[in-house]
């Protein structure tokens, strides 16, 4: 427990440190200089990801279909040493009525028409009839690859791992893959 607590503390302190550095650099600039977007564009840069796939495909007894949605707003991005970071919020439901709601951050790397999006998001998990993940607080790490198939439309695939970082009495984790469709408005 002490080992897990120290890892969590180091992670939180690191995030706080890098956020403070980024905030201090941006504080010197106005909103429009940092984001190079007007208030009008703030509402025009919303994106929605719709996805479906297989929740916990590596556990054949607990595997289930999942359907979800994720929201992001490109106007809220920050440039960091990791690249372009955007806040995300979303959730999914499984075929066995388990629910997971999360909020976190997503990086974006663009290579022509291909986008690679790694993300990290803590969230709340409700087991219902699905797999017992050991705790209500779970952490989702994900990597997504998508190809632009039309103006502001992307089709891709993603893989994620959900774990409670040993906060609970057990930590089985869940590995999932999804097919994604992103629409940028």
> Cβ of 38: how many Cβ atoms within 10 Å?
11
In this predicted structure, what is the pLDDT of residue 66?
Answer: 96
Residue 121 parent element (H or E)? strand 114-126
Q: How far is CA 7 from CA 124, 165, 167, 180, in A?
A: 20, 9, 11, 32
CA angle 93, 96, 97 (to 5 degrees): 45
Cα torsion through 111, 114, 119, 125, rounded to 10:
180
Domains and CATH numbers, the chain: 44-184 (2.40.160.20)
Q: What is the pLDDT along the chain (185 residues), one digit of tens a residue?
A: 445 554 554 554 454 444 444 444 444 444 445 455 555 555 567 889 999 999 999 888 889 999 999 998 877 888 888 788 999 999 999 999 999 999 999 999 999 999 999 999 999 999 999 999 999 999 999 999 999 998 889 999 999 999 999 998 899 999 999 999 999 87
In this predicted structure, what is the pLDDT of residue 16?
Answer: 45
pTM comes to 0.76
In this predicted structure, what is the pLDDT of residue 100?
Answer: 97
What is the residue-wise DSSP string for 30-68?
A: -HHHHH---HHHHTT-EEEEEEEEEETTT-TTT-EEEEE
């Amino acid at each position: 427990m002490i080992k897990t607590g120290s890892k969590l503390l180091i992670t939180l302190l690191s995030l706080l440190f890098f956020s403070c550095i980024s905030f201090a650099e941006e504080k010197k600039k106005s909103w429009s200089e940092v984001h190079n977007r007007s208030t009008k564009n703030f509402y025009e840069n919303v994106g929605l990801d719709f996805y479906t796939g297989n929740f916990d495909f590596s556990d054949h007894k607990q595997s289930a279909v999942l359907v979800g949605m994720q929201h992001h707003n490109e106007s809220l991005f920050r440039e960091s040493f990791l690249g372009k970071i955007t806040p995300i919020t979303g959730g999914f439901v499984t075929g066995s009525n388990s629910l997971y709601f999360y909020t976190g951050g997503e990086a974006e790397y663009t290579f022509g028409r291909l986008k690679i999006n790694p993300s990290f998001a803590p969230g709340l998990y409700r087991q219902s009839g699905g797999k017992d993940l050991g705790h209500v607080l779970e952490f989702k790490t994900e990597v997504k690859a998508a190809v632009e198939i039309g103006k502001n439309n992307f089709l891709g695939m993603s893989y994620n791992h959900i774990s409670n970082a040993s906060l609970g009495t057990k930590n089985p984790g869940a590995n999932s893959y999804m097919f994604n469709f992103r629409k940028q408005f």
